[in-house]
């Protein structure tokens, strides 16, 4: 099966022992992309959230690095390939179980202000993982994601009662 990208939204409350659950829709896509149960996570370079993807994105990141270097050369801008490579390939590879449970490293949780739960937003080649409060502070371009997040958080709270 060909990997079709990441789409949709989901919310997952924080579990015990610092564990989070990769929602089923995203778990299936990561497994297809990684040919294993390996989730790659990194801090997003512009937004206060994390990015997630499977191992199949590694060659794509190398191609992205080449494109960025070529573009910088064409417009006469300085480009530090080593620094950019460290940014792109600085992700962590985390195993997850059949239920999607994984332990998020503290440094990533702190960087993205992740606490009581994760809102997951599909983004094609990757997906983003948000603290709902951080997402609520994004601009109008994020109106649909914010509405979905609010609804999913509300559903999760109702289930706990």
Q: Per residue in 65-98, pLDDT tens?
A: 999 999 999 999 999 999 999 988 999 999 999 9
Looking at the predicted structure, is the pLDDT value of residue 107 above 80?
A: yes
Rg of the chain over all Cα atoms, to the nearest angstrom: 16
List of residues 6+ apart from 110 with CB closer than 8 A: none
Q: Determine the Cα angle at 148 with ends 39 and 58, to 5°.
A: 25
Count of positions (residues) in the chain: 161
9-56+92-160: CATH, from 3.40.50.720, 3.40.1550.20, 3.40.50.1010, 3.40.50.360: 3.40.1550.20
Structure confidence at residue 3 (pLDDT): 67
Task: Summarize the confidence of residues 22-43 as an average pLDDT.
Answer: 90
Residue ranges covered by each domain of the chain: 9-56+92-160
Looking at the predicted structure, is the pLDDT value of residue 5 above 90?
A: no
- Residue 16: pLDDT band (50, 70, 90) is confident
Structure confidence at residue 2 (pLDDT): 61
**In whole angstroms, what separates CA 111 from the centre of its chain?**
13
Percentage of the chain modeled with pLDDT above 70:
98
**DSSP percent split of the chain into helix, strand, coil, nearest 5:** 45, 25, 30
């Amino acid at each position: 099966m060909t990997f079709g990208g990441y789409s949709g939204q989901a919310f997952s409350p924080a579990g015990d022992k610092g564990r989070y659950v990769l929602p089923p829709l995203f778990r299936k896509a990561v497994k297809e992309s990684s040919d294993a149960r390996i989730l790659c996570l990194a801090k997003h370079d512009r937004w206060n959230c994390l990015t997630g993807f499977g191992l199949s994105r590694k060659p794509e990141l190398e191609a992205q690095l080449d494109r960025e270097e070529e573009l910088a050369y064409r417009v006469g801008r300085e480009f530090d390939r080593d620094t950019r490579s460290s940014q792109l390939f600085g992700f962590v590879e985390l195993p997850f179980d059949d239920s999607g449970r994984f332990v998020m490293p503290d440094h990533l949780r702190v960087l993205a202000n992740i606490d009581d739960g994760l809102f997951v937003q599909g983004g094609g080649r990757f997906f983003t993982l948000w603290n709902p409060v951080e997402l609520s502070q994004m601009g109008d371009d994020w109106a649909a994601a914010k509405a979905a997040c609010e609804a999913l958080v509300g559903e999760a709270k109702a289930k706990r009662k």
